[in-house]
Structure 1
Amino acid sequence: MRIDPRQFQVRREQQLRDEVMQDFGVRKALAKLREWRGGKGYGYRRNLLSSTLRLTRSMSPEIADTVAQCKEMLGYDSPVEVYVTPEHQFNATCYREVKGPTILTLSSRLLEAFTPAELRFVIGHELGHAVFDHYGLPMPITATIEELGIPFVSRPTSLRLYAWCRSAELSADRIGLLCAGDPEAAASGFFKLASGMASERVRPDLATFARQVESLASAPEAREKEYDEDTLDCFSTHPYNPVRVRAVWAFSRSEPYLEALGRSTDSAWALEDVEQVIERDLQLMEPSYLEEKNQTSDTLRRLLYTAGLAVAAASGGIEPSELEALGRLLGSDHADAPVDVPKLLGDLDGRIAAALEVPLRNRAQLVQHLTIVAAADGSVSEDELHVMEDIARRLEVGAQVVHQTIRGAMHPID
């Protein structure tokens, strides 16, 4: 069976990529990256050859056959090399330099714990990034590259780039599901990656998790009551996981997916219906309060700035990278303004009190954005964690939002 991957690409990814590629700043950033690389490659591959195990067919015919089968299905003709990294976490990545083969890395723990069907999902996902050329728009460097302290890409475009990244992951998930041919294997593989668990006591069910996020994915204007704690619990597991679960589940019921696998389409969903679900769900992940011009947005932006400084200052001093992270979220006006930390921290209580009037979903999203500031210098200290937990508690947001967002970010499906 051979498919055309483009017909399965998430519509929102295509739209966003077309938009950002027309942006002058993005084109300038990509040109600068090409200048840095100088048309050369092989550095990443050379490092892997010197420090990890390249998995040949003689060592693992099963993995070699899985890669070959996925490539055949996708019509992907470029050479693929597989490397095993000595990691105790589930992890898989795919990368291609300017020149050379596509590099697929799998952690040793993933190879030990994943079933053949789960491996097909993971390998298919990674090859999905390759067939859609997601490396042609490298992130996050495209959004953050600068010259003489001035970013090439404007903040609104930067936010669209990150939105494109999220959509790109969903496109890769679809390819993983097609290669696996089994929604249950996709579910178990996905949740092993997301949770780090391989216990038989936990059997993820894709449809069950999709139903769990129904209230989160419902259009906000259709809800007449405040977001409840059950909705928040689901949302706080990780800003990407609930949307990804629902997208995989919905695609597994779609007419194109079932047709591609030669299965009955009697009760199938139209692809248009699946795209509408995804686009609605993805909107819930976009930080609209950072761009909107209204009182609620102003309240949240002021609190994010003050709370972000409180988190950054918790570990003994505010690092430039932490101020830069706040600037990327809020705009250059905040990044360039002089910081009177004691005075601003004195405003924290009042700004938290004012924010209690805004929807719980927005408060939870703000707490998640605090983790971006905390992790900007490469780590999250215990002191920073305690401050975030305290701010979350005072905003009536469960502290698990902080923990699960950080944990989720440590286990991406790249």
Structure 2
Amino acid sequence: MSDTVKKQRKLRTYPDLERAAFMHPWDIKATAALHKVPGFDRLIAKVMEYGLERVLFLQNIADNVRVTDKMFPRLHRYLQWSCKVLAVPEPEFYISMDPVPNAYTYGHTRPFIVMTSGLIELLGEEEQFYAVAHEVGHIKCEHVLYTAVAMNIATLVEILGQATLGLGSLLGKGLELPLYDWWRKSELSADRAALLCVQDRQVAMRSFMKLAGGANKLFHEMDEGEFMRQIRAYEEADESNLNKIYKFFITAFRTHPFPIMRAKHLDEWITSGEFYRISGLDPNDA
């Protein structure tokens, strides 16, 4: 999104917006379920005790490039706009040389965002804004502490196992599935936050289509109607218990929902009218 586009479509800001107003109900439910799993609070304590976020922070300083007003200034503006819209303190932001399209937010006491060069190459300017806003949305929703647990689950399970003669490992293994389940569902809330930032449905849908298709150069050959019809084909595959079992195994250890499912959930939020009620936007403009 250029400054010209921003002037043509002035972004609304939400200084008093509470995260509970827009968070996906699945996210809220999954978060509550996590706290009921034995050993979860112990894992959180270990994240803080061992300073795991500091390790990755130092790695970023050494290996990645920090986004500032002088280094990748366009991306820095996306960060500033996202933080202003959602009323979030500005975190540090890094670009990592990695061809795999990805972005994540990490760090409980000092959150920072990392985006790969592969994601930058895949997305257009406005979609890059959406991706940055999505990560700021994780901070707004206070996901970062649980993300730190999810990203370090293997290390934490090993630490607990050594400290408790193997008992902690058993508890940790029982946490993996509900943790991954929460991780996927937290993405749905961050998608909503990103839409509140870009304030344009088409930007979000283009982002999902590119994430699913994997090629920026092929986007002009893609059709949103066909993309949304794929969702129905996936949902209709629940006709048998066997298909439901297959779905479980192909999603159980994913950190993100499939792009078509993210598009579905965001589209439902829009068509329900909730997005317009919260954003105050006119349906004809967004």
TM range (shorter): 0.7 to 0.9
Which of these residues, 171, 187, 191, is aligned with residue 153 of structure 1? 171
Which of these residues, 138, 146, 162, is aligned with residue 129 of structure 1? 138
SS in 1 for 2:31: helix
SS in 2 for 1:106: strand
Residue matched to 1:93: 104
Which of these residues, 109, 117, 123, is aligned with residue 114 of structure 1? 123
Distance 1:135 1:152, change over 3 A: farther
Distance 1:160 1:89, change over 3 A: closer
Which of these residues, 82, 90, 100, is aligned with residue 70 of structure 1? 82
Q: 2: CA distance between counterparts of 1:153 and 1:54? A: 38
**Displacement of 1:118:** 0.3
Residue matched to 1:181: 199
Distance 1:126 1:203, change over 3 A: farther
Q: 2: CA distance between counterparts of 1:160 and 1:42? A: 25
Residue matched to 1:210: 228
Are residue 52 (structure 1) and residue 64 (structure 2) matched?
A: yes
SS in 2 for 1:262: coil
**Displacement of 1:115:** 2.2
Contact 2:79 2:132 (8 Å CA) reproduced: yes
Are residue 193 (structure 1) and residue 211 (structure 2) matched?
A: yes
- Runs of 5+ unmatched residues, structure 1: 266-414
Distance 1:164 1:42, change over 3 A: closer
What pairs with 1:236-385 in structure 2 (closer than 5 Å)? Answer: 240-241=257-258, 242-259=260-277, 260-264=279-283
Contact 2:122 2:214 (8 Å CA) reproduced: no
SS in 1 for 2:39: helix
Distance 1:166 1:113, change over 3 A: closer
**Displacement of 1:257:** 0.9
- The size of the alignment, in residue pairs, is 252
Contact 1:207 1:249 (8 Å CA) reproduced: no
Distance 1:215 1:226, change over 3 A: farther
SS in 1 for 2:283: coil
Residue matched to 2:9: none
Distance 1:210 1:153, change over 3 A: farther
**Displacement of 1:11:** 0.7
Distance 1:140 1:69, change over 3 A: closer
Residue matched to 1:285: none
Distance 1:16 1:120, change over 3 A: same
Q: 2: CA distance between counterparts of 1:225 and 1:160? A: 21
CA deviation profile, 1:19-63 (whole Å, cap 9, x unmatched): 2213331112222332222xx854323322222222211233322
Percentage identity across paired residues of the two chains: 22
Residue matched to 2:3: none
Q: 2: CA distance between counterparts of 1:173 and 1:119? A: 13
Distance 1:171 1:202, change over 3 A: same
Paired amino acid for 1:63: L
Paired amino acid for 2:64: T
Contact 2:121 2:216 (8 Å CA) reproduced: no
Paired amino acid for 1:87: D
CA-atom RMSD, angstroms? 3.2
Paired amino acid for 2:128: L
Paired amino acid for 1:95: Y
TM-score normalised by L of structure 1: 0.53
Distance 1:33 1:5, change over 3 A: closer
Paired amino acid for 1:66: Y
SS in 1 for 2:21: helix
Residue matched to 1:27: 41
- Runs of 5+ unmatched residues, structure 2: 1-12
Distance 1:111 1:225, change over 3 A: closer
**Displacement of 1:206:** 4.5
Which of these residues, 9, 12, 27, is aligned with residue 13 of structure 1? 27
Distance 1:224 1:53, change over 3 A: closer
Contact 1:86 1:108 (8 Å CA) reproduced: yes
The 10-residue stretch of structure 1 (22-31 or 104-113) with the greater mean CA deviation from structure 2: 104-113
The 10-residue stretch of structure 1 (62-71 or 26-35) with the greater mean CA deviation from structure 2: 26-35
Which of these residues, 74, 93, 96, is aligned with residue 82 of structure 1? 93
Residue matched to 1:300: none
Contact 1:29 1:153 (8 Å CA) reproduced: no
**Displacement of 1:183:** 2.1
Paired amino acid for 1:188: R
Q: 1: CA distance between counterparts of 2:215 and 2:237? A: 32
**Displacement of 1:134:** 1.6
Contact 2:100 2:116 (8 Å CA) reproduced: yes
